[in-house]
Each structure stands twice: as C-alpha cells, then as structure tokens.
Amino acid sequence: MRKGVFFLIVALPALFTLSSTTPIFSQTAASVSIPDHISSPGSVVILPVTGTGMQDIGTLQLYITFNNDVLEYLNVENIHPNLNGLLFNFSEGIVKLSWFNISGSSVPDGHKLFDLRLSFCNDLVKCAQSGSATPVYFIQDRSFITDPAYNNIPLSFNEGSVGSDVTYRTLTVSVEGDGQATVNGVLYVEPVVVVDGAELLLDVIAADGWLFDRWTGAITGSTTPQGILMDSNKEVGAVFISSGIPDNLEVSGVNLAEGESGCYNALETITVAGAGTEFVVQSQGSATFKAGRNILFLPGTRVEPGGYLKAYIVTDEEYCQPLADKQEGPVADIVTAIEPREIISNMPSFKVYPNPASGIFYIELEEAVDGGHVLIEIFNATGSSVIRQELPLERQYAFSLENQNPGIYFIRVIQNGKMSVERLIKR
C-alpha cells in the first residue's frame, strides 16, 4: 500500500505537468458570456458564446435575444463537439437552444460553446432609428444548466453588444396638406439616413391650389429651402394650406384709369378680354397678371401710351395676395414691359407629356406649318433658363431634364412672335 500511495503522489503532478493541453475545469459556479462587437452596416457578425464551469453538465438551456431592427438572425454554427446534438431555433425574436445528455459532458473553461451568426443593419433606416446598436443578452429566468441528475448549477451571465463603426442619423419628414418635400433636391418618400454631422437641404413643392405655410419640428419658420444639421435623429413637418386662388380666371370689362391698378391671379390660366369684350389700361394705370401656366391676351386687350401691364408665370406661391405674415418675393419674369399697343395674342398651343416626368418628355405642337422655326425655352423654379433651343418647325420634340433637380419647370414656346407657356413637374 505504501508503494501505491507513493506512486500516486509522484505520478499525478507528472501527469498534469507533461500534458499541458489537459482540460482544467472551474470548480465555481458556471457562467456564459457574449462579447461586444463593432461592425459595419450590411455585414455578417459572428458572436462566439463561451462558458466556464461547464463540468459534468447534463442539461443546457439558453435563451438569447437582441433588437431585431438592428440584428437579423442567420444561424447557430461551430457547436463544441462535447455539445453534440444541441437543438436550436429562432422565433419571436429569440434564439432558443437546448441540449441534454444523461451521461453528462464537459466543456473546458473559456472554450466556445457555439457561434451566433447574425446580419447587422440590413435595414439602415430602422437600424439608425434604434441608434445603430443593440445589446445581445440572455433571458436569465429561462436560461439554466443542470448536472446529469437534474440538480441546478448556479449560472451567471455576461452580456454583449453589437454596434456600428459609424454613427447614423435619421430624418423623418411629414406633410400636412397637399404638397411634397424634397431632401437635397430629391422627392422625400421615406426616412433619410445619413452619417452623423451631415447637412441636408429641405425644400417643398406645393400642389395646385395650395401654398407652403411653415416648417414644424426640428426646423421652424417659412423660409425655403432650409438647411438642417443631422447631429441627432430629427423629425420635420411641412405644412401646406389652401391658396384660395382660382384654377382659371377670365378678366374682361375692365378699364383702369390714371392712378388705378389691378392684379389678377390664377393657378392655371388667365384669359383677358376676347369675345367682343375689352380690357383697357389707360395712361398711368397699371395691371399685373400672375398665373401658373398660361396668360392669354385676346383681341380687346389694350394698353394706352403711358399705361403699364406686366404678366408673370408664377414659379411658387408669390401671387397677388400673399397670405398674412408672408412677403411677396421675386417671380420669374417671363413676360414683362409690354409696349403700349393693342395686344392680340392667338398663342400657339402645345402639349407636354408625360407630366410629371422623370426622364425624357415630349412637346407636341397642335399646329405646325412647314418652313418655319420655333423657339423653345425651359425655366427652373428660380426663373433661370436651363434649356434654350431654336429649332425647325416640327410636330413633336423630345427633351430631357435628367441632369436637373426635381421640381417645377416652365416651358415657353415662341412661334411667329406668339408665345405660350406650360408647366412641367420633374420627379
């Protein structure tokens, strides 16, 4: 017996000394751990789940969850061979894992139990709205381990997280009334995600019969366009109100004497005189017309020497009677300084299609006489000419505004000294 005892005392240290790879198990309570991880949006994340104190275990059950707007579950893989038969599934935003072995099994301290394979920030909008980060944690009241006899083994939890290597911000725009907002010249259709500190330019497009009134939320006032610094997630509202201006207006039977003035609005077309009626501006009288598409001066329109008549195609909401607290700004001066004379304007009519347009659109003249020329000019919303071409007279012409920002444009066609204007919306 003494030899046997002597043999054990000598051999055991030698056994552990010579075999440095022999597993050493913790004798304290067990623990499971998930690391922190930094990643880029759209990338695949591998999170190793490790354990300590996993000695002679018979049952393992772990429930792991995270923000599903930030992470998408893909799979559980690289399972430790001593956990062969580990069952897992994903439902209701939770990864559920379970394992059982009546004979018991062990996993060396610090070794990986399995990998969680996840996809990070596939939906950048939802991810940014969630702060581009999420904790990855165990549901502790549903996670446990036991020995083969089903005796509970105390288990502690070390939770991890997944975050972005870049901070993202989300801009959300709501619209009240009838109109649209643009962000950096592009029509707003869904929340915009940008890196922290980016600057955006917001603008508006009012629908026919509506005026832009004000901004709400992260920016205020009524100035357009308006810049915004994205140093946090922000919400902005664009409020439009009804203009109270008619779509079309006929003006006749008017005689503006010295010192008298008149201003006339229409969202679409103003028709002046015609059908045996008159519109007269006497010396030192003044008339102003503002319309969204056309101003038709028919026979019977007359400006006496010393009288003034101005006509504008309005590019936004600067009509004759702006709403309270609004100032009338500059308009695109499409027709100005008409000489005192009788104005007879049987304007050439044309069609624009498709309207709205995102790429190529067509201008089709209703009347085209061989051998002539036509001047076609296209203005943006500030009144600047973006296209000007004098072309041989044909029935149809093709143009493109692909290199221009979305918004409202005005097409002017001049043929034989007569002019017509139509409005085009570029998406």
> How many C-beta atoms lie closer than 10 Å to residue 252's C-beta?
16
2 pLDDT above the threshold of 80: no
In our burial notation (b when 16+ CB lie closer than 10 A, e otherwise), range 183-199 reads beeeebeebbbbeeebe
Alpha helix stretches (DSSP H) within 214-372: none
How many residues are present in the chain?
Answer: 427
Fold of 168-242: Immunoglobulin-like (2.60.40)
56 pLDDT above the threshold of 60: yes
pLDDT band at 368 (very low <50, low <70, confident <90, very high): low
Q: What integer pLDDT is reported at residue 11 of this predicted model?
A: 37
Share of the chain above pLDDT 70, in %: 84
Q: Which pTM value belongs to this model?
A: 0.47
Class of domain 29-164: mainly beta
Token pair for residue 420?
Answer: 């017509």
- 50 or 223: which leads in pLDDT: 50
Q: What integer pLDDT is reported at residue 19 of this predicted model?
A: 36
Q: What is the pLDDT of residues 164-189, one digit of tens each?
A: 888 889 999 999 999 999 999 889 99
208: Cβ contacts below 8 Å, ≥ 6 apart: 247, 267, 268, 292
Q: What integer pLDDT is reported at residue 385 of this predicted model?
A: 83
Q: What integer pLDDT is reported at residue 95 of this predicted model?
A: 96
The dihedral over CA atoms of 380, 386, 390, 394, expressed in degrees to the nearest 10, equals -60
Q: What integer pLDDT is reported at residue 109 of this predicted model?
A: 93
- 68 or 208: which leads in pLDDT: 68
Distance between CA 143 and CA 166 in Å, rounded? 33
Q: What integer pLDDT is reported at residue 269 of this predicted model?
A: 87
327 pLDDT above the threshold of 80: no
Distance between CA 87 and CA 85 in Å, rounded? 6
Q: What integer pLDDT is reported at residue 244 of this predicted model?
A: 76
Mean per-residue pLDDT, 95-107: 93
Query: Given strand 179-183, what is the order of strands in its sheet?
Result: 186-187, 179-183, 198-206, 226-230
29-164 and 168-242, same CATH topology:
yes
- The full set of domain ranges for the chain reads 29-164, 168-242, 248-343, 350-426
- Please tell us whether the domain made up of 350-426 is placed in CATH 2.60.40.3080: yes
Q: What is the pLDDT of residues 114-167, one digit of tens each?
A: 999 999 988 888 888 888 899 999 999 999 999 999 899 999 999 999 998 888
Q: What integer pLDDT is reported at residue 143 of this predicted model?
A: 95
- Looking at every residue in the chain, the average pLDDT score rounds to 82
